[in-house]
Structure 1
Amino acid sequence: MALPASRITLSSKPVAPHKSFSKPDFKAKAAHVTDRFQYVDMWLRQSGENGKSALVYWRQAANFYRANLAVDELAKPLTSYYCILNMVKALLVSTGKDMARVQHGVSGYSAGAKTALSNEYVKFKFSGVLSDLSRYFEEPVSGSDECTLLDLLYNLPHIHRAYCMTIPSRSKKELFIPLAECGFYRIDGTGECFFRGTLTPGWSVNRTKNKLPSGFEIDPTVDVGALAVRRKKRFKWKGKSEKVKITNLSKYHRKLRRNIFQIFDAQEKWYLKRDTASGISDGLIDKNPCVIAFAAMHRLSELSRYDPDKLSRHFNNRYGWLLTEFLTRTLDQVLDDLASEITGCEVK
């Protein structure tokens, strides 16, 4: 019989997954702000020499963000890309990375005569801003990866529903499983802890267990109400030392965050990404959404600069609405992710 489990706490606060991958502050209260750019600007000014060096990039990103509001869809890829590029530079410089003379780390090209997302390719390079961002998220960098724009957009949780509504071949191949009430639980009477989230309506059915990624399972400790998913791996939460507990939690959380992601306007949920073990193989890209968004926006910015006629044809295609959703939502998504990443706080 499975043992019951109870939610762990820090400073009387239930512990939940954190938006920051690299340096989450689990004890800090969430920062509820009206302007993420202003909040991070303040934080960088108070964060030593690296933070002050990152300010020029962060403020440049804010300028591009505001400029983006005033341009049409054929120009938005340019202002959007340079906004993302400078946000990423601010993140890297704030951690001590030198951005002097650094290349972007990505390029693209079109294949075939037909205007289609499947014919737009992105090449990930071994060095540059994007490759440094991949290394920041502890991803392997080969310098030989290539992906189509069709697949890149498929792997972004903040536009995934729009993608599945727009691309018929993948309408029944949802890549992300939404989880609510996510937290960390300790098996009663032990020091063994694990991550758990509750399946939402539409997913809270027994057949979902066959769609879970490797390393996850239906939680047998939950026997009433909606089904719950947990990570099989455990971490230790015992003893008097809070520092040791947080260290163990942080290591576990770092690996967990390779699998779960949040959407800026649905922060009560986390999205668990399926993998080949769950029956998804076509189009799967094992990279962080910030890396993927950077790469996809770069390709669209190339089209905006060098072939606006083809970009216009993309917008006039059946998936034009999807591209509009991507351009409309992506800056807010990356801003939300990187504001928390830079500060280590839950910025909301």
Structure 2
Amino acid sequence: MPISRITASSKPISPHKSFSSPDFKAKAAHVSGRFQFVEMWLRQGDAECRKALVYWKQAENFYKANEAVDELAKPLTSYYCMLNMCKALLVCKGQDMASVQHGVSGYSIGQKTALSNEIVKFKFSGVLPSLSKFFEEPVAGTDEHNLSDLLYNLPHIHRAYCMTIPSRKNRELFIPLYDCGFFRVGGTGETYFRGSLTRGWNVGRTKKKLPKGFEVDPHSEIGELSVRKKKRFKWSGASETKKIQNLQKYHRKLRKEIFQIYDSPDCWYLKRSGDPEATDGVINKAPTVIAFAALHRLSELSRYDPDKLSRHFNNRYGWLLSEFLGRTLDQVLDDLTSEITGYEVQ
């Protein structure tokens, strides 16, 4: 049967940056400053949104300060910028962050200066576990991950990671997809997500690398391969409100598997899982949660052991740390701007 892309308000529907409250009908917001856009949105919101303003302004101040400090101090300003962005998100969604602990700690093992020897412990309560719950992740209070694996699981620096860490040079964790959308099977209400493989991944062996629950779409165009999610949802026989609700429920699960990079808006990245080549080092948490944890550990080193932090930067993977610190705040700012407002912000 033929397939066709679904629309809302005459607009083709694509995956949305917002995990929690995507507005699929709204047009994208083109803004010159994300901090200013979110501030405007919070000021026009309810009491909880206005409470979040102080954290959002703090985040903006740390963002500006971050541009003026060197690499040994940057983890501190970066972390406190992100901490306040996340607090603003949680407060405007109804949580009180006034006296909440950070919910994360770290320590080193061994004598060698190595990313794999920097351990991050996820606690049961605090900002970080609250962030995990926001993204509907289980919170055990016993999870521990090393800094190397945390960085490996971040889409926005993943290519830099694989270029820097020899043992994972040929073990890319994310499959790039373009022209992503939701397609309805003709004559039925069955609808699914699909995206086309980019050059380099448009080969037969990619089938073996797809995560569980995904497959090659038999409706792929000649000469191309498209990937689809096996799970379907209904897009017919109901009011538009009900159809959007079905889409939102489907989308929340999908967004745990696909991610976007702020400076590559035409691509979504499907995270591999389930095959032996990819499972080593995989962390099934949202990139925002992972980035928070990694920044916290680097900020601890900046505060308490700047000599060791300096040795990390002087190691062969120092460029990777610089890329992480140089790109992460813009990535998180882009993600949380959409998460707070529900808009696609460009």
What TM bracket, shorter-length normalisation? over 0.9
Residue equivalent to 2:108: 110
Shift of 1:277: 3.5
Shift of 1:223: 3.7
Q: Deviations over 1:216-262 (max 9, x none)?
A: 00000124132000000000000251000000000000000000000
Number of equivalences: 346
Residue equivalent to 2:300: 302
Q: Deviations over 1:145-170 (max 9, x none)?
A: 00000000000000000000000000
1:179/1:270 contact within 8 Å kept: yes
Residue equivalent to 2:73: 75
Residue equivalent to 2:204: 206
How far, CA to CA, are the matches of 2:276 and 2:19 in structure 1?
24
How far, CA to CA, are the matches of 2:194 and 2:99 in structure 1?
44
1:64 alignment partner, one of 62, 65, 86: 62
Residue equivalent to 2:150: 152
Residue equivalent to 1:15: 13
How far, CA to CA, are the matches of 2:276 and 2:145 in structure 1?
21
1:345 alignment partner, one of 335, 343, 346: 343
Aligned counterparts, 1:275-294, within 5 A: 275-277=273-275, 279-294=277-292
Give yes or no for the alignment of 1:185 onto 2:188.
no
1:34 alignment partner, one of 26, 32, 53: 32
How far, CA to CA, are the matches of 1:260 and 1:54 in structure 2?
28
1:211/1:278 contact within 8 Å kept: no
How far, CA to CA, are the matches of 1:175 and 1:99 in structure 2?
34
How far, CA to CA, are the matches of 1:111 and 1:21 in structure 2?
35
How far, CA to CA, are the matches of 1:298 and 1:33 in structure 2?
30
Residue equivalent to 1:6: 4
Aligned counterparts, 1:115-264, within 5 A: 115-264=113-262
Shift of 1:4: 2.0
How far, CA to CA, are the matches of 2:223 and 2:253 in structure 1?
28
How far, CA to CA, are the matches of 1:4 and 1:314 in structure 2?
54
**In structure 2, the residue corresponding to 1:197 is in which secondary structure?**
strand
Structure 2 unmatched runs, 5+: none
How far, CA to CA, are the matches of 1:173 and 1:234 in structure 2?
30
How far, CA to CA, are the matches of 2:239 and 2:275 in structure 1?
38
2:38/2:341 contact within 8 Å kept: yes
Residue equivalent to 2:327: 329
Shift of 1:281: 1.5
**In structure 2, the residue corresponding to 1:296 is in which secondary structure?**
helix
2:157/2:324 contact within 8 Å kept: yes
Code of the residue aligned with 1:274 in structure 2: it is: R
Code of the residue aligned with 2:142 in structure 1: it is: S
1:162/1:322 contact within 8 Å kept: yes
How far, CA to CA, are the matches of 1:308 and 1:277 in structure 2?
39
**In structure 1, the residue corresponding to 2:215 is in which secondary structure?**
strand
User: Measured at CA, do residues 5 and 279 of structure 1 come closer, stay the same or move farther in structure 2, by a change above 3 Å?
Assistant: farther
1:6/1:188 contact within 8 Å kept: yes
Residue equivalent to 2:91: 93
Code of the residue aligned with 1:91 in structure 2: it is: L
Q: Deviations over 1:96-116 (max 9, x none)?
A: 101121000000000011000
How far, CA to CA, are the matches of 2:135 and 2:273 in structure 1?
18
Code of the residue aligned with 2:34 in structure 1: it is: R
Comparing 275-284 with 220-229, greater Cα deviation is found at 275-284
1:33/1:39 contact within 8 Å kept: yes
Aligned-residue RMSD, C-alpha:
0.7
Structure 1 unmatched runs, 5+: none
Residue equivalent to 2:45: 47
1:175/1:273 contact within 8 Å kept: yes
Shift of 1:334: 0.3
Residue equivalent to 2:263: 265
1:213/1:278 contact within 8 Å kept: no
Code of the residue aligned with 1:130 in structure 2: it is: L
How far, CA to CA, are the matches of 1:132 and 1:77 in structure 2?
22
